[in-house]
Structure 1
């Protein structure tokens, strides 16, 4: 009978299958690649750091979209600072579904700057 079709083709799927879940270890690898590509030859300049931050965030977002994680929304945060031996602290809080939602982050440091990039993957029901 043609009436007996899979739930994915006829119904509303409320959870992604394992292959389509946001997996932090995979995403962190992609994030690290983007940071190395974008920042390895850059030096900190206070006049252009705003544009550099936007460029890195856009590159990270494009890489996340290429992962084809259907129905996930991505939130990308990039912080770039001058490497002068100072510390920085970051914090993020939210309510989410611990089964489907997650985050990944990576740190890039060279002699002139540091960059902390975070990607939040939130499954859209």
Structure 2
């Protein structure tokens, strides 16, 4: 079993880039939800895009939706990207988080 020693680095060599991830989230959500009608069997399978950390898809009935998450956050190093869209039948919210962990 390989064991790794701490590097004691405070910053990532490859930091999370929210702008790039926003473009990916937009492309994936637009493709996946553009003409999607809500189906209780199909929609949970659509939410299994594992490149995106959290995906919520729900049926629209004229309601408002608020999606939140909470956890410890390092404002200097951690980043996130989010994209939401809706069509006549469904809404979708994708959130992706980049957390630095050494």
Q: TM-score range by the shorter chain?
A: 0.7 to 0.9
Deviation at 1:118, TM superposition (A): 0.6
Please point out which of 6, 22, 26 is paired with 1:28: 22
Residues 1:109 and 2:71 are matched in the alignment: no
2:28 is paired with a residue whose SS is helix
- For the pair 1:41 / 2:35, whether they are aligned, the reply is yes
Structure of higher RCO (CA pairs closer than 8 Å, 6+ residues apart): 2
Following TM superposition, the consecutive aligned residue runs of length 4 or more in structure 1 with deviations greater than 4 angstroms are none
Paired positions, count? 96
Q: Which is higher, the Rg of structure 1 or of structure 2?
A: 1
State the SS of the aligned residue for 1:51.
Answer: helix
Picking from 7, 10, 14, the partner of 2:10 is 14
Under a length normalisation based on structure 2, what TM-score does the superposition of the two structures give? 0.80
Aligned Cα RMSD in Å? 1.9
Task: Give the alignment of 1:46-61 within 5 angstroms.
Answer: 46-54=40-48, 57-58=49-50, 61=51
> Is the counterpart of residue 118 in structure 1 residue 102 in structure 2?
no
Question: Alpha-carbon deviations, 1:5-60, whole Å to 9, x = none?
Answer: xxxxxxx343125xx32122221111101111222232111232211222xx22xx
In the TM superposition, residue 78 of structure 1 has moved relative to its aligned partner by: 0.7
CA–CA separation in structure 1 for the residues paired with 2:45 and 2:17: 29
TM-score normalised to the size of structure 1? 0.67
Q: Extract unaligned runs of 5+ from structure 2.
A: 1-6
